């Protein structure tokens, strides 16, 4: 069954010139890129997006990092999109990913536990929240970017 997930190429991925290769990987694995937008996040938006991490020690630093430069947000679609995109990006920590999942996006493009190049929704529930956080969905199911 067709499913959608939210992918983000984070600031280190964009500045490290990984955008094109990550998009190529996405398309080669059968995902359709339904929406994409190159945006600069501000502090309020990041705090809201990552609200579930607000009590963590790394939160302040995460907000600084995610506002440090532009990001590419994308809505990906295919069967089992949420789990398949998570599998493709690999474990959160690129240094561990290099050992356990050497062909994953984070192993190849990520720098460290924080600068891990990409984001993927962790469940279908998170995916719908995250997609509607960035894109407004019309009754036809078509998403367009919020102002
Ligand atoms: P992601 O899983 O996409 O969303 C939460 C982000 O917080 C995560 O990617 C990393 O960028 C960052 N993060 C998670 N755990 C840590 C940690 N222990 N230290 C620093 N950053 C982290």
- In contact, 4 and 127? CB cutoff 8 Å: yes
**Pairing mode, strands 143-145 and 135-137:** antiparallel
Catalytic residues: 119
**Pairing mode, strands 2-9 and 118-120:** antiparallel
Q: Which tens digit of pLDDT belongs to each residue from 53-69? A: 999 999 999 999 999 99
- In contact, 39 and 147? CB cutoff 8 Å: no
For 86-128, strand residue ranges (E) read: 118-120
- Looking at every residue in the chain, the average pLDDT score rounds to 95
- Residue whose CA is closest, atom 1 of ligand 1? 119
Using the predicted structure, report yes or no on whether residue 141 has a pLDDT greater than 60.
Answer: no
Q: Which domains does the chain have, with CATH numbers?
A: 2-135 (3.30.70.141)
Query: Ligand 1: does its nearest atom lie under 6 Å from the Cβ of 62?
Result: yes
Residue 138's pLDDT band, with cuts at 50, 70 and 90, is: low
Q: Which atom of ligand 1 is nearest to the CA of 120?
A: 3
Query: Ligand 1: does its nearest atom lie under 6 Å from the Cβ of 113?
Result: yes
Angle between helices 19-28 and 81-89 (to 10 degrees): 130
Q: Which pLDDT score is estimated for 147?
A: 60
Q: Which atom of ligand 1 is nearest to the CA of 115?
A: 11
């Amino acid at each position: 069954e067709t499913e959608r997930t939210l992918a983000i190429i984070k600031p280190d991925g964009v500045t490290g010139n990984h955008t094109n290769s990550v998009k190529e990987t996405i398309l080669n694995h059968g995902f359709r890129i339904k929406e994409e937008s190159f945006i600069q996040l501000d502090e309020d938006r990041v705090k809201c997006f990552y609200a579930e991490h607000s009590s963590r020690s790394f939160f302040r630093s995460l907000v600084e990092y995610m506002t440090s430069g532009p990001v590419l947000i994308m809505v990906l679609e295919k069967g089992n999109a949420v789990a398949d995109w998570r599998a493709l990006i690999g474990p959160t920590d690129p240094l561990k990913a290099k050992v356990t999942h050497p062909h994953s996006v984070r192993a190849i493009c990520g720098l460290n536990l924080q600068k891990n190049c990409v984001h993927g929704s962790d469940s279908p529930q998170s995916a719908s929240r995250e997609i509607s956080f960035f894109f407004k969905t019309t009754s036809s199911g078509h998403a367009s970017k919020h102002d």
